[in-house]
Amino acid sequence: MFTPYEERKTEVPFASSEYFSFAARSSFLGCPARPMNDLGDAGVVILGAPFDIGTTYRAGARFGPAAIRNADYGAMDGYRPHLPTGIDPFETLGVVDIGDVMVTPADMERSIEEIADTVAHVAEAGKVPIILGGDHTITWPNAMGIARTHGFGEFALIHFDAHADTGFLQRGSLVGHGTPMRRLIESGAVPGHRFVQIGLRGYWPEPDVMEWGREQKMRTFLMSQIVDEGLDKVVDDAVDYAIGGGAKGVFISVDIDVVDPGLAPGTGTPEPGGLNSREILDTIRRLAKDLNVLGGDIVEVSPPYDGPGEQTAYLANRVVLEMLNGMAERKTSAG
């Protein structure tokens, strides 16, 4: 698994509506749609990973990329000036959308290879990949693709989630949406001392799994700690921990279930008592402004379980947009 891109014998395939009925049919907010061999001078590349065969409870995240792309009330014109700053991240960064990776629904290993290869190819081209999921299994190949380009152990991962996703096995398999963070640490792609988790709560994983994370020097911030100390302080501590020791940058992974399911019901493993929408949006924008973002993903959006107003998809869309806004602010301030 994870054969280096250069050794692949076939071109990286991509999905479209002509292949899969669940593949997204439009670009993110109408930004230019491009093939992989024509990324031009874009700074950010949006891609989808319609993958949910790693799910253990409620499936449907394969429909996430399409829902996230389409969740907006404005014209699909690739123009979104930010109200507080007046900055249009699409113009400032140069954002394109290459569509969805052509995953193979019945083949876990091949799908993961395809996702990792695609992300690596984008990163090797000097672009920042933002991946629309898909269940959380995809963060393993996503961050692995970043590691192939920027170096194993050379960047931090900031992970927003209700669950740690550090399980050893999932139904007897090493691969699934409950195991990607352990696989990344074991592979050396992201060492434990550069791994930060925010928003954990509920009743999984078990104490021995959490102890394993502590042994790896992972930094974990439970929702109870956020309530006691305040989100701003937790994020301050998270940033200090993640970038300490000279990390080149960060990968930001957002599981939409970090948000309370009363506000984001369309997800596979809902856990009450999470962040609110305003908190996640402000935090993502702040991180993207303050840190060098090498990549990011938004995962576990399951449209079949969303409300009639599609509030989960709309929130996920804005998580991506706030990440782009933070990156644009950082670029603008740097001159």
Q: What is the pLDDT of residue 1?
A: 44
Residue 194: exposed, middle, or buried by beta-carbon count in 10 A (0-12, 13-18, 19+)? buried
- Which range is least confidently modeled, 35-44, 288-297, 312-321? 35-44
Q: What is the pLDDT of residue 105?
A: 84
Condensed to tens digits (0 to 9), the pLDDT of residues 108-134 reads: 899 999 999 999 999 999 999 999 999
Find the CATH number of the domain harbouring 124.
3.40.800.10
Please determine, for residue 14, whether its predicted confidence score (pLDDT) is greater than 70.
Answer: no
Q: What is the pLDDT of residue 19?
A: 53
Q: What is the pLDDT of residue 176?
A: 78
Please determine, for residue 243, whether its predicted confidence score (pLDDT) is greater than 60.
Answer: yes
Q: What is the pLDDT of residue 169?
A: 61
Condensed to tens digits (0 to 9), the pLDDT of residues 250-284 reads: 999 999 999 999 999 999 999 999 999 999 999 99
Q: What is the pLDDT of residue 309?
A: 95
| Structural domain boundaries enclosing 148 | 5-333
Condensed to tens digits (0 to 9), the pLDDT of residues 71-87 reads: 999 988 999 999 999 99
Q: What is the pLDDT of residue 9?
A: 36
Please determine, for residue 175, whether its predicted confidence score (pLDDT) is greater than 80.
Answer: no
- Number of compact structural domains in the chain: 1
With cut-offs at 50, 70 and 90, classify the pLDDT of residue 26.
Answer: confident
Which two three-digit tokens encode residue 212?
């394993």
Please determine, for residue 308, whether its predicted confidence score (pLDDT) is greater than 50.
Answer: yes
Q: What is the pLDDT of residue 3?
A: 42
What pTM does this model have? 0.92
